[in-house]
Amino acid sequence: MNITSLKRWLPVDAPLRNDAAARSPAVLAAVVAQFDVEHNPRYLPAHGDTFCSTFVWDVTRALGAEVPHWVDENGRPCRPGLVASRELNANGNGWWLRVHGGKYGWSELHALSAQERADRGRPVVGVWENPDGPHGHIVVVLPGAWEDGAPWCAQAGGNNYARALAARCFGAHKPRWWGHA
């Protein structure tokens, strides 16, 4: 599937991929950049919907460290359309990282550690679970100098940013940070 597909419930096959054997800040930045989050119609808000979890799913799949968009009844990543599969939004991604992420190489970090890990080319995400609503927010952490007490991020959401400080992405909300081994 092409990386601009509007079939957001289906996985895409990114041309540039990465795995644990070849991590670097430059490769991490290039993998994220290929999705062109600010212009790609797959991630642009539409009809009141936003697509942060789809963006993070696409990026982390390309990095070989999937934060799934679909899981089975046991929390295992799966393809859409399977019996008992369910689609995850950002709140679901936060749940999955807390409950199942450790089995898939994800661990919780402090914000500074999140930036340091991304600076080494490792996959890192920030997620805020909304306790009062149906969905929260999730971003990809980018390599870059720690600034104003926050990591650098790329996000799809009400506004899409190829590069912004976490405070701009999350506002007053306090995300949890997760890094992949």
> What are 154-166's pLDDT values in tens digits?
999 999 999 999 9
Domain-embedded: residue 79: yes
In a domain, 10, yes or no: no
Domain-embedded: residue 2: no
In a domain, 103, yes or no: yes
Give every CB contact of residue 140 below 8 A, 6+ residues apart in sequence.
Answer: 32, 55, 56, 59, 60, 123, 124, 125, 153, 154, 155
Enclosing domain of residue 125: 36-180
| Residue found under tokens 């950002």 | 90
4 falls within a domain:
no
Min mean pLDDT across 65-69, 104-108, 141-145 is at 141-145
Task: Tell me the C-alpha distance between 163 and 84, whole Å.
Answer: 36
pTM metric for this prediction:
0.96
- Per residue in 138-151, pLDDT (tens digit) is 999 999 977 777 89
Distances (CA, A) of 56 to 20, 157, 166: 18, 11, 15
Alpha carbons 68 and 26: distance in angstroms, whole number: 24
Q: Are strands 150-155 and 161-165 parallel, antiparallel or unpaired?
A: antiparallel
Q: Answer with the residue of higher pLDDT: 64 or 133.
A: 64
Residue 70 domain-assigned (yes or no): yes
Q: At what angle do helices 25-33 and 52-62 cross, to 10 degrees?
A: 130
Identify the band that residue 10 occupies on the pLDDT scale cut at 50, 70 and 90: very high
In sign, the C-alpha dihedral spanning 152, 114, 156, 4 is positive
**pLDDT band at residue 134 using 50, 70 and 90 as cut-offs:** confident
Domain containing 101 — which CATH number?
3.90.1720.10
- Token readout for 43 is 């991630």
With respect to residue 64, please indicate whether it lies within any of the assigned structural domains: yes
Closest CA to 71 of 61, 83, 63, 62: 83
In a domain, 20, yes or no: no
Taking residues 32-39, report their average pLDDT: 98
Does 40 have pLDDT greater than 80? yes
Tell me the Cα Rg of the chain: 15
Identify the band that residue 50 occupies on the pLDDT scale cut at 50, 70 and 90. very high
Q: How many domains does the chain have?
A: 1
Question: Cα separation of 57 and 96, whole Å?
Answer: 12
Q: Is the pLDDT of residue 51 over 90?
A: yes
Assigned token pair, 12: 């895409």
